[in-house]
Amino acid sequence: MIFDLHSHSTASDGVLSPPDLVSRAAQQGVNVLALTDHDEIRGVFAARAAAAEHGIDLVAGVEISVTWSGRTIHIVGLRVDPEHPVLLEGLRCNRSGRRDRAQRMADALAGAGIPGSMAGACLLATNKELISRTHFARFMVEQGYVKNMKTVFKKFLVRGKPGYVSHQWAALADAIDWIHAAGGVAVLAHPGRYEIGKEKMALLMAEFKELGGEAIEVVTGSHTPDQVPVFAAYAERYALQASVGSDFHAPGEGGRELGRLAPLPAHCIPVWQGW
């Protein structure tokens, strides 16, 4: 069985529509796919219909942006009720700040000699409530300012760079509560990507567990092979289950292909145990 429990569609910053994403996952041999768009769940209805046609299982999911200890982290919710009012209201609230944030990013980029990025990013975003840094990055690559996605983030879109603006997302406790209200399980996404030391990572794990978080991503497109055993050990130490996901966004953009994932280390308890 191939599980891929983290992916994006045009409902957020992916480039494939939910049905096209599901179709690609089926082609790649994925058996169980979670659609986990940023702060948005509306893609799962079309994805679910397509999954039934392709004979794969679609897990309704979401990836919630959270501000924790002054930095952005991501919490994935799996097996959520996509119509639950508490979750929908929380996501709406998280999305509502994005347009103003995008305008601030565009102003900052204009100051750095890159005009027109608000209109450019907006044109590339299918869901106009969900303009992300990825859309700005694609615009800048398309316009030839930077050669690829990796470089555009490194030079412009991360903290300390000219196109980065700070933003207040949901609180960790709220994100976990919305997921639980909607009957889902909360998964700390790609922990290896947060540039925090061991002490802060221990605080994050402890707080996530204390607030009722169930799992962490151990195998993800964002982890290097040597990070897998490190986060498998965290999962064990904090009695958290382990999840697996590509974080696929687009063919040929440099990220991981759907379903192309290493197996979980043997001592991990898979988040899908008991599903």
For residue 180, state whether it binds ligand AMP (rule: CB under 6 A): no
One of 13, 37, 174, 177 touching Mn ion (CB under 5 A): 13
Residue of 245, 221, 235 whose CA lies nearest to 266: 235
The token pair that represents 99 in the structure block: 């347009």
Residue 235, CB-side half-sphere exposure with 13 Å CA sphere: 31
Q: Tell me if 128 sits within 8 A of 134, measured CB to CB.
A: no
CB 50 within 8 A of CB 57: no
Give the residue nearest to ligand AMP (CB): 132
Q: Which is nearer to ligand AMP, 164 or 238 (CB)?
A: 164
* Alpha helical stretches, state H, 112-197: 117-124, 133-142, 149-152, 172-181
Instruction: Give the per-residue SS3 of 182-214.
Output: CCCEEEECCHHHCCCCHHHHHHHHHHHHHCCCC
Phi, psi of 203 (to 5 degrees): -60, -45
CB nearer to Mn ion: give 64 or 87.
64
- 4 binds ligand AMP per the rule CB under 6 A: no
Segment interacting with ligand AMP, rule: CB under 6 A, options 109-117, 147-155, 173-181, 196-204: 147-155
For residue 74, state whether it binds Mn ion (rule: CB under 5 A). yes
Q: Binding residue for ligand AMP (CB under 6 A) from 153, 156, 231, 272?
A: 153
Instruction: Report the 10 Å Cβ neighbour count for 78.
Output: 24
Nearer residue to ligand AMP within complex by CB, 233 or 250: 250
How far apart are CB 85 and ligand AMP at their closest, in Å?
Answer: 24
Which of these ranges, 41-49, 128-136, 138-146, 208-216, lies near ligand AMP under the rule CB under 6 A? 128-136
Is residue 214 near ligand AMP by the rule CB under 6 A? no
**Is 254 buried (19+), middle (13-18) or exposed (0-12) by CB count in 10 A?**
exposed
Amino acid symbol at 160? G
128 binding ligand AMP? (CB under 6 A):
no
Q: What is the CA radius of gyration of the chain?
A: 18
* Residue 13: CB minimum distance to Mn ion, A: 4
Q: Choose from ligand AMP, Mn ion, none: what does 75 bind? Cβ within 5-8 Å by kind.
A: none
- Total residues contacting ligand AMP by CB under 6 A comes to 10
Task: Pick the piece of the chain touching ligand AMP (CB under 6 A) from 88-96, 146-154, 172-180, 260-268.
Answer: 146-154
Footprint on this chain of ligand AMP (rule: CB under 6 A) = 13, 38, 65, 132-134, 149-150, 153, 249
